[in-house]
Structure 1
Amino acid sequence: MALLSHKTKPVGGENLENWEFVGKGGFGSVYKARHKDWGFDVAVKILRDDVSLPEESALFAEAGHMEKVSCEYVLRVYGIYQGLIQGLPRQGIVMEFMGKGSVQSLLRDLGGPPPQPLVSRLAHQVALGMNFLHSRKLLHCDLKPSNVLLSDDLNAKLADFGLCRVSASASDGNRETELIGYTFKFKPPEAFDTSYEPRRAFDSYSYGILLWCIFTGKEPYPAAEYSLVALKVPIGDRPCLKDTDQKAELVDLMKKCWDGDPSNRPTFKECLGVTEKLFSMHRPGVPAAVYQVLTKLDPATSNQHQSINEVVGFSSQTPESHDSMDCRPMKTKSPSVQDPVPDEVSVYTITMSPEKKAKFVDDKRADLIQVISEVMAITEELGDMVHSETYALIKAKPTSMEKMRLLYSRTLRSGGIAVKAAFFDALKKHHPKTVEQLGG
């Protein structure tokens, strides 16, 4: 605990409520919980009750590293958890909660790669985070899709860095540790030498494999066991590039990153020269790409906005067709008697981006709380975006103002662009004049 600064205070169990199990990792379990005083959700990584002293020290070392490199592209740490879990005293790290899982879960749920604009943003954000990490004299040593977490808006942040070597040293050799997940598939060829000491080039290699995963939507060497990868990677085998555009700058970058000679691999500062250019090129298409992916990930949102997707040119695509997907919205015709706009989609809804809708919802909060009366109708249209417990609490409030305050505090404030855009569309449907009067 001494690894944390005086600014990071312990978080007791009495401060947290609405616990939800998220998943398990090498050190224990991860939960989502709401901090009563802060008013937003956090992630709590809880140590197993049978952890050894080295593992406990490693967990607090992780918290200390996270605090040292706190930035926009690295997961924030809020403090050390001290409290009871199922009646037993436990310890853990309280961290920023990332509502859309990881790059690994994103690729799995999409069944293929994201649209190109989102690929370019993910590649750039990971490079920014890694460059910052290296500038603080820290290595990651476990860069892979499951350790790149995603916010509600699908922005990327690095997590679980600096643990690879500690975990390996606590096991019986490092084969057992490597076989957890598929970390070994992201190891550079030199790292299969038992005397190897990690260097920055280790992370550059892992980044190259990670880029391939994001670019193709696939897992590297899916059928290969550790022994085969350890044999083949040092002699030059790499993930297949048959289905990728050989001239793409991102493909050229990944090939440089996984070069067999560590001295030939680019630093992350050099990687930024490529990723920033690509991101700038695709940046106008990012909001539409994010909106498309979010509606596919959330069936309730997808069903609700099906007509919107059709109007702006988001057609349903199979995973195989992602590579050729054009994510730019189609130009829409002016509404006419012969070519009407669907009843549930206004001209404003078509032309206004999800980000502008979200900004309207944020900027007009005070006004909307005062004047909106059809709160339950709007809440019902949001569907699964509103937690069942929150729905019950909103329904129990006696006045519309109280209902709106609760909807903002429990759903809209912590929700991302997609949630706020869906709220705007429901608002436009039930209170069109109010939206117009407020500048919408």
Structure 2
Amino acid sequence: MALQSRRSEPVGNESLEDWKFIGAGGFGKVYKARHKDWGFDVAIKLIHHADGAVMSLCQEANHMDEAACPYVLRRCGIYEGYPPKGGPSMQRGIVMEFMGRGSIQTLQKDLSGPPPWPLAFRFAHHVALGMNFLHQKKILHQDLKPCNVLLNDDLNAKVADFGLSMVSTSALTSNTEMTGVVGGSYKYMPPESFDISYKPVRAFDVYSYGVLLWSILNGEEPYPAADRPRVELRIPMGDRPPCETIEQMEVEGLKDLIDLMKRCWNENPSERPTFECCREVTESVLSQHEKDVPGAVYQVLTQLASPQSHQHFNNNVVFRSAPRMRKQSNDTVDHPIRVKQNPVSVPTKNLTVADKAKFVDENRAVLIQSVSEVLAIAEELGDMVHPEAYSAIEAKTTSYGQMRVIYQKTLRSGGDVVKAAFYDALKKHHPRLVERPGG
């Protein structure tokens, strides 16, 4: 059976060189290759030989054509040929633009956590734009998750993988039924979809987007230790990924995004927002950080290019990537706040009280990440630390958690004098955090 689509001119082996295997899945395999005439790399998705596989590939190709926009992966053509080590029979596939930075999932692994806030907010907005466009075209994605959001060389995000996509029968409401079967990854599937009588609707994608937002903000997969039976049991009972850590972070617009996330994973599909509403919220949040996006992109690309990108932050050297820290008491994860690439370097001689306070304020995120001798510093501050605050510091099992208490319960309300005293104690216990290299 010939592969038919709206853009059916085939790409054959004579046009491709430098094949490299990228990965595989239930659908088949993905390769990277250079197109000789076009002069740039492409990704080639090849399907397994199975009944109905060619028709499914054709449908996926047509969905990609329908959804062509800057925030959805672009299809460049179709492939028909004999790929390297592909066996004696001809194979068919989709030729797509190559996204050189992998996916949000691979970025999370490379960074050992979440990206800087401005970049996280841009990811959230790009996905909302792409999904809104899909739904406007009456297409349901049905498998939205970090590995299906791909990143180009500039870390712009695009929605990808339309293997489970369906076409809606109507565009009247956000919950219009779709033709097809239920698919997706169970950790991103809404509670109603575990019912055997469920018929897919657009609210399915909205729920998945809510969980995807959580993953973007936290830098990890939800329910890391839960298998499918447990997820199928607990999600309909109201369980959702924990939000305590990010809810305590003071970042402009974050509260609005968390509120959107929770509305997206509402147990009632009719209460979930449309993607048009989602993009309005994400656009507003991103606008508050847009000026910082280029710096965040540069920070991440520099970190990815460094052979030391995974070194621990508590070595009192230039910060690269902070590891996640696990509490011993309840086995929950304490995530670090995103930080600047380097602490601000300031002279350490002849600083006024105001200068020291300014340093402590401007480097809050870096210091929370990097200071390990927290109890010793608290003791140096003496009566400046209220007994209740000191008890809260002692109760934390990570230096990250202890430092957050210092900022929240002591430095925030103590004024410049307390911040200056904190600076002096910091200089004593962590001199490299406040001194110029070699100074």
TM-score under structure 1 length normalisation: 0.66
Give 1 or 2 for the bigger CA radius of gyration: 2
Q: Report if aligned partners of 1:10, 1:82 keep a CA contact under 8 Å in 2.
A: yes
Residue number in structure 2 paired with 1:36? 36
Shift of 1:162: 5.1
Amino acid at match of 1:51: A
Q: Indicate the residue corresponding to 1:279 in structure 2.
A: 286
CA distance in 1, matches of 2:93, 2:286: 36
Deviations 1:360-401 (A, max 9, x none): xxxxxxxxxxxxxxxxxxxxxxxxxxxxxxxxxxxxxxxxxx
1:134 aligns with 2:107: no
Shift in CA distance, 165/25, structure 1 to aligned 2, threshold 3 Å:
farther
Determine helix, strand or coil for the equivalent of 1:31: strand
Distance 2:225 2:346 in 1: 49
Contact 2:122 2:286 in 1 (8 A): yes
Aligned partner of 2:395 in structure 1 is none
Over residues 135-190 of structure 1, what are the superposed CA-to-partner deviations in whole Å (9 max), with x where a residue is unaligned? 00000100000100110111100111251679xxxxxx98xx76xxxx10100011
Q: Amino acid of the residue matched to residue 144 of structure 2?
A: L
Residue 274 of structure 2: aligned partner: 267
**Residue ranges of structure 1 left out of the alignment (5+ in a row):** 167-172, 304-312, 335-440
CA distance in 2, matches of 1:330, 1:318: 14
Report the identity percentage. 53
Secondary structure of the residue aligned to 1:120 is helix
Partner of residue 51, structure 1? 50
Q: Return the alpha-carbon distance in structure 1 between the equivalents of residues 4 and 14 of structure 2.
A: 24
| Residues 320 and 341 in structure 2, CA contact (< 8 A), matched pair in contact too | no
Counterpart position of 1:71: 69
Distance 1:63 1:164, change over 3 A: closer
What SS does the corresponding residue of 1:196 show, helix, strand or coil?
Answer: coil
Count of residues in correspondence between the two structures:
312
Contact 1:143 1:161 (C-alpha < 8 Å) held by counterparts: no
- Partner-residue secondary structure (3-state), 2:139: coil
User: Which letter does structure 1 place at the counterpart of 2:19?
Assistant: W
Q: 1:217 & 1:231 partners in 2: Cα distance?
A: 25
| 1:12-411 superposed matches below 5 A | 12-48=12-48, 50-52=49-51, 54-85=52-83, 86=85, 87-161=88-162, 163=164, 183-245=185-247, 248-299=255-306, 315-320=319-324, 323-327=336-340
What letter corresponds to residue 130 of structure 1 in structure 2? M
Larger mean CA deviation between 85-94 and 214-223 belongs to 85-94
Distance in structure 2 (CA, Å) of the matches to 1:295 and 1:51 = 43
Pairwise CA distance, 1:327: 3.6
CA distance in 2 between partners of 1:257 and 1:76 (Å): 27
CA–CA distance in structure 2, aligned partners of residues 62 and 220 of structure 1: 27
Q: For residues 75 and 301 of structure 2, what CA distance do their matches in structure 1 show?
A: 26
CA contact 2:121–2:282 (8 Å) conserved in 1: yes
Larger fraction in helix: 1
Secondary structure of 1:209's aligned partner? helix
Q: Which residue of 1 aligns with 2:400?
A: none
Look up the equivalent residue of 1:240 and give its one-letter code. P
- Matched residue of 1:244: which SS? helix
* C-alpha contact (below 8 Å) 1:100/1:154 kept by paired residues: yes
Q: Normalising by structure 2, what TM-score?
A: 0.66
- The separation in 1 between residues aligned to 2:339 and 2:223, in whole angstroms, is 28
Question: CA separation in 1, counterparts of 2:3 and 2:321?
Answer: 51
Alignment gaps of 5+ in structure 2: 168-180, 249-253, 311-316, 326-334, 348-439
